[in-house]
Structures are given as C-alpha cells and as structure tokens.
C-alpha cells in the first residue's frame, strides 16, 4: 500500500532504517504511452529516464543494492518490432548513462540469461559492467532476460552437479547454501519490493528472495515514478514492523 500525504507535503526518509536492498518491477510503460496516444517504445524510453531518476535517488539515500526488472523471459512473447526497439534502447542506455553512473559511483551488474541476447545488447551490457566495475557506491542489478523460475532451475542444476561430483554433501544443503547459487549470492537480503503500474503480483521476479520482503504497490506508471514516489516507498517501509514470521 502507498502512503497518503497532505497536499504540498514532502515525505522524509529517516537516516536510520533505510532498506539495504530494494527491487523494482518497472511496470506501466506501455499503458502510460497508450493513455497519451504514443507508441509503446516512447513509454519504454521514458521508463529509462525514470530509472536514471530513481537510481540517483537510491544512491543519494544510502540504498546499497537496487535490483530492477528490465526484461523478462516472458517478454519474448511481445511483438518482434517492440522487442527489437527495446534492445536498441538497451544499447542506448548502456552507452549514454555511463557518465551519470560514474558521477554517482554506481556499479552495474546484469543478472539473468543476458548472455544469450543478440550481439549488440549483449556487448553493450558487458561493456557497461566492465566500465563501472571499479565504482564503490550503489550496486545496480539489471535483471535482463530474467525469470525467477529459470534462476531456481539453474541453481538446482548447479547444486545437483556439485553433489554428483562429490563436492557437496546433500545433507549440507540448507537455505543459506541455496542462496549462494542464486544470482543474488553475497548480496543483502531483499528488504523492499516496489511495483508501480497498479498490478498486484510478483510476475516471476525474485520469488525466492522476496520471501520476507515488504511489498509496496502503487498505481503510478513507471515513467511517472518520481523521487518523491521512491521516498514514499522507503518511508512506508520504515513505518512497518518486520517480524519475519514471528509474533
């Protein structure tokens, strides 16, 4: 649920209790464009601007990890022309956001089966990771060609191989070990998952990691998602009592 604020008021984030790891399902680009009589790709382009805005805000507010859902395995079912334009935008983002990312000391990592993408976006994402690898601030995880089900399948296969090779005792498999086989290995647990766009589902995103994450859903379409919207999500998080299954 979102936080209601009086007209003209601005939400404030307390320095203590900022979520370490925030994830966002960047939803509503196409509906934003349709409302305005624009092509879908314009919504995606404006979504890139929103990503820049929110990445800067997350960095400024002390978030350690920001994981965003950029392209799911299910998105391959979309119109081929839209997919092609999405990949062009991906290349554009990778090449044109580098200065901004360096200025804000943001390190980029790509998770998902991104290495199976066509050559141009694959190379652009590889270069973006390499060129920001020395940055020490916010870690921006771009989930590209990502599926939580596929991530879990990948982890199970890797665990099975290690067991078969005698490198892993089946009796030693626990929650902590499984986490080390996921894309998010060695990262802070997911604290907060934000979904703009009005939908109320996880859409195959970080299903394992979101077990005890707080959820923040809002009807604001992603291209319109502002720094204040991000701050509202964080202040809402700070007002919750996290019991992790306890009483």
Q: Annotated catalytic residue: which of 27, 191, 229, 236?
A: 27
Q: Please name which of 155, 80, 72 lies closest in space to residue 114, comparing C-alpha atoms.
A: 72
Report the alpha-carbon distance of residue 72 to residue 204 in Å, rounded.
8
Angle at CA of residue 99, ends 98 and 105, nearest 5°: 85
One digit per residue, pLDDT tens: the chain, 247 residues? 333 333 344 567 877 789 999 999 999 999 999 999 999 999 999 999 999 999 999 999 999 999 999 888 888 888 888 888 888 888 888 888 999 999 999 999 999 999 989 899 999 999 999 999 999 999 999 999 999 999 999 999 999 999 999 999 999 999 999 999 999 999 999 999 999 999 999 999 999 999 999 999 999 999 999 999 999 999 999 998 877 766 5
Q: What is the DSSP string of 183-240?
A: TTTTSPPP-EEEE-SS--S-TTSSTTTTTT-EEEE-SS-GGG--HHHHHHHHHHHHTS
C-alpha–C-alpha distance, residues 64 and 80, integer Å? 36
Q: Which two tokens stand for residue 147?
A: 């599926």
- Asked about 169 being catalytic, the answer comes back as no
Q: How far, in Å, are 116, 149, 196, 246 from residue 205 at the CA level?
A: 19, 9, 14, 25
The confidence score (pLDDT) of residue 2 equals 37
In the sheet that holds 65-72, the strands lie side by side as: 107-111, 139-146, 65-72, 21-25, 192-195, 214-217
Q: Tell me the pTM.
A: 0.90
Q: Which domains does the chain have, with CATH numbers?
A: 21-238 (3.40.1180.10)
Residue 119 main-chain phi, psi, to 5 deg? -55, -50
* Angle at CA of residue 63, ends 188 and 3, nearest 5°: 110
Active site residue: 60, 75, 174, 224, which one? Answer: 75
Q: Is 236 a catalytic residue?
A: no
């Amino acid at each position: 649920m979102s936080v209601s604020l009086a007209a003209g008021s601005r939400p404030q984030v307390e320095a203590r209790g900022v979520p370490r790891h925030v994830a966002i399902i960047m939803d509503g680009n196409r509906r934003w464009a349709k409302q305005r009589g624009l092509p879908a790709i314009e919504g995606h382009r404006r979504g890139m601007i929103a990503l820049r805005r929110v990445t800067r805000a997350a960095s400024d507010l002390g978030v350690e990890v920001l994981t965003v859902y950029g392209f799911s395995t299910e998105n391959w079912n979309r119109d081929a022309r839209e997919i092609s334009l999405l990949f062009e935008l991906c290349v554009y983002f990778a090449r044109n956001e580098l200065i901004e990312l360096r200025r804000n000391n943001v390190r980029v990592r790509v998770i998902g089966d991104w290495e199976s993408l066509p050559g141009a976006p694959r190379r652009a994402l590889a270069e973006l990771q390499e060129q920001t690898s020395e940055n020490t601030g916010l870690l921006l995880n771009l989930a590209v060609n990502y599926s939580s089900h596929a991530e879990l399948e990948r982890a199970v296969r890797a665990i099975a191989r290690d067991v078969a090779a005698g490198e892993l005792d089946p009796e030693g498999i626990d929650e902590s070990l499984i986490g080390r086989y996921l894309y998010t290995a060695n990262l802070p647990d997911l604290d907060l998952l934000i979904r703009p766009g009005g939908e109320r589902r996880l859409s195959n995103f970080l299903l394992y990691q979101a077990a005890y994450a707080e959820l923040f859903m809002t009807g604001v379409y992603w291209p319109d998602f502002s720094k204040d919207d991000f701050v509202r999500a964080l202040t809402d998080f700070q007002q919750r009592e996290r019991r992790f299954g306890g009483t």
